[in-house]
């Protein structure tokens, strides 16, 4: 991936505004309806967005102060907080999303330049530089805007972010032993991505936004075409 911290911060801010716009247009009755993620309502997803902001604030605090502050106390506590938060009223959920997003923006402004090089552990327990935190948040905002299932699409993403996201996804898939060998070829840009060895790889062609949605396991556009009109290969879940 080739983005800078400043670029990722801008994508995260734009993504937060984009998702907030989708949320405020939702009627109260829409919160209890399913989102695109199995087993979750829109209330669950929006509560997760708020708790993710808290998690990113924790990581920024860790990087800024040196005091170990995990994103979440535990996976079990994270899930319990989302389940409990989803039972709140739509007004409470809206306020929570807005307030935690604003708190995160303030935490970002409080970061000294030197703190971005500090090392923290992400949700998966992997050590990463703090400079990756804005990317993590940007990714959450734009992907979950689509998961909210109210009309957003991956074509809404800034084009450079789409390229970086597809690079990250394909690099992750390439490390999975059950991933098929695939070449993803953009038909609207002069760029391609690979999973596995080139020999025997199935080529899948289509617009970048559709390739992103398919690689993420979110969408399967009719615009995508595999070699010899074969069915699209089945990809393992990204995360």
Question: Which H/E stretch holds residue 206?
Answer: strand 202-206
Contact 229, 202 (CB under 8 A): no
**CB contact at 8 A, 36 and 147:** yes
CATH 3.30.1050.20 segments of the chain: 159-229
pLDDT of residue 1: 64
Burial of 39 (0-12, 13-18, 19+ CB in 10 A): exposed
What is the per-residue pLDDT for 221? 83
State the CATH class of domain 159-229.
alpha beta
Domain(s) of CATH 1.20.120.450: residues in the chain: 5-152
Which architecture does CATH list for 5-152? Up-down Bundle (1.20)
Q: In the prediction, which pLDDT does 228 show?
A: 81
* Residue ranges of the chain with per-residue pLDDT less than 50: none
- What does each C-alpha distance from 185 to 37, 60, 74, 144 come to in angstroms? 27, 37, 39, 24
Lookup: tokens for 62 = 């860790």
């Amino acid at each position: 991936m080739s983005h800078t911290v400043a670029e990722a911060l801008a994508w995260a801010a734009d993504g937060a505004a984009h998702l907030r716009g989708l949320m405020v247009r939702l009627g109260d009755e829409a919160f209890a309806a399913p989102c695109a993620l199995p087993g979750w309502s829109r209330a669950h997803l929006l509560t997760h967005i708020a708790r993710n902001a808290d998690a990113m604030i924790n990581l920024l605090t860790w990087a800024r102060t040196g005091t170990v502050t995990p994103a979440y106390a535990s996976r079990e506590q994270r899930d319990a907080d989302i389940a409990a938060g989803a039972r709140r009223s739509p007004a409470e959920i809206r306020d929570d999303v807005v307030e935690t997003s604003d708190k995160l923006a303030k935490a970002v402004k409080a970061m000294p330049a030197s703190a971005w090089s500090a090392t923290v552990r992400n949700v998966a327990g992997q050590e990463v530089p703090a400079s990756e935190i804005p990317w993590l948040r940007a990714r959450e905002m734009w992907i979950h805007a689509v998961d909210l299932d109210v009309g957003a699409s991956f074509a809404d993403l800034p084009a450079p972010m789409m390229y970086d996201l597809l690079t990250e996804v394909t690099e992750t898939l390439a490390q999975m032993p059950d991933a098929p060998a695939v070449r993803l070829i953009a038909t609207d840009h002069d760029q391609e991505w690979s999973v596995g060895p080139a020999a025997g790889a199935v080529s899948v062609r289509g617009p970048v936004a559709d390739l992103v949605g398919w690689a993420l396991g979110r969408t399967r556009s009719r615009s995508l075409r595999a070699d010899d009109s074969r069915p699209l290969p089945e990809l393992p879940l990204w995360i």
